[in-house]
Amino acid sequence: MTVPELLEMKERGQPIVALTAYDASMAALMDEAGTDILLVGDSLGMVIQGHDTTLPVTLDQMVYHGACVRRGRSNALQIVDLPFMSTATEVLALHHAARLMQEGGAHMVKLEGGQAVAPIVAALTAHHVPVCGHIGLLPQAIHQLGGYQVQGRDLIAAERLLADALSLEAAGASLLVLECIPASLAKDITRRLTIPTIGIGAGAACDGQVLVAYDLLGISPHTPKFCRNFMVGAESIGDAFHRYVKAVRDRSFPAAEHSF
């Protein structure tokens, strides 16, 4: 899977399937199931390390887990998160993105934020680093937001998120994650952008979907509303991943009950 192929999938209206991955064994199962994107997310700080937030995750840890996933991946595009404060300046962002690609196996890096981080996105893409943006609920800004809540519910907030999306695309982002925003807003953003959108709690109109693997396997302490337990009725973890891929492809997931 390549960045141009993802754009072609959007143009064809073919749903893009993404999952979080943190190790080689799980990555191999996801890849075999036909997952298009493996996201080495800083969510590992919560589901693997047991922290309350993603903030304690370090760049070295992202490099380590990225390298683990790389050894299990065969076909999927690999995206690795830039962790908290690793993009505070353009120099830091470039140095850290280089490590994620050279040591961590990343084909693309992901960073959180809207218009404020557009200059960082532009600097990265100018140096041939593919970038995935991330707007809506920003886990790295959780103390600023005050909790894990749906974003963009009112008109002003919705207009700000649309402006964020357009700004990131203009800066050169190749992909955009929309997290926990109303389905109607995600649909509007997806229609306005030429780059693919990947939703998590953002409704069915996004160009693709991503879930935290531990959530869809039903082993997270609290399953979010936007998730479905794909282990129910599955014969194995690999079968659960196959079921998820099929459900995203045929647009039976997410359903209305998984949206805001």
CA torsion sign for 94, 23, 196, 259 is negative
Domain count, the chain: 1
Q: What is the mean pLDDT of residues 190-194?
A: 98
Q: What is the mean pLDDT of residues 7-16?
A: 98
Q: What is the mean pLDDT of residues 9-32?
A: 98
The per-residue pLDDT for 230 is 97
- pLDDT tens for 45-97 read 999 999 999 999 999 999 999 999 999 999 999 999 999 999 999 999 999 99
| HEC sequence for 141-174 | HHHHHCCCCCCCCCHHHHHHHHHHHHHHHHHCCC
Assign residue 96 the CATH number of its domain: 3.20.20.60
The pTM for the full model equals: 0.97
The per-residue pLDDT for 223 is 82
Whose CA is closest to 222, among 76, 90, 97, 52? 52
CA distance 86 to 117: 12
Domain that holds residue 182: 3-258
Residue 187 to residues 37, 197, 241, Cα–Cα distance (Å): 21, 9, 25
174, pLDDT greater than 90: yes
Return the half-sphere exposure (C-beta side, CA atoms, 13 A cut-off) of residue 94. Answer: 11
Report, in angstroms and rounded to the nearest whole number, the Rg of the chain calculated over CA atoms. Answer: 17
CA distance 209 to 78: 15
178, pLDDT greater than 90: yes
- pLDDT tens for 203-258 read 999 999 999 999 999 998 778 999 999 999 999 999 999 999 999 999 999 999 99
The per-residue pLDDT for 222 is 79
Whose CA is closest to 197, among 171, 174, 163, 167? 174
Q: Which residues are catalytic?
A: 179
3, pLDDT greater than 90: yes
* Mean model confidence pLDDT for the chain: 97
Task: Check if the beta carbon of residue 189 is closer than 8 Å to that of residue 175.
Answer: no
The per-residue pLDDT for 221 is 79
pLDDT-above-90 percentage for the chain: 97
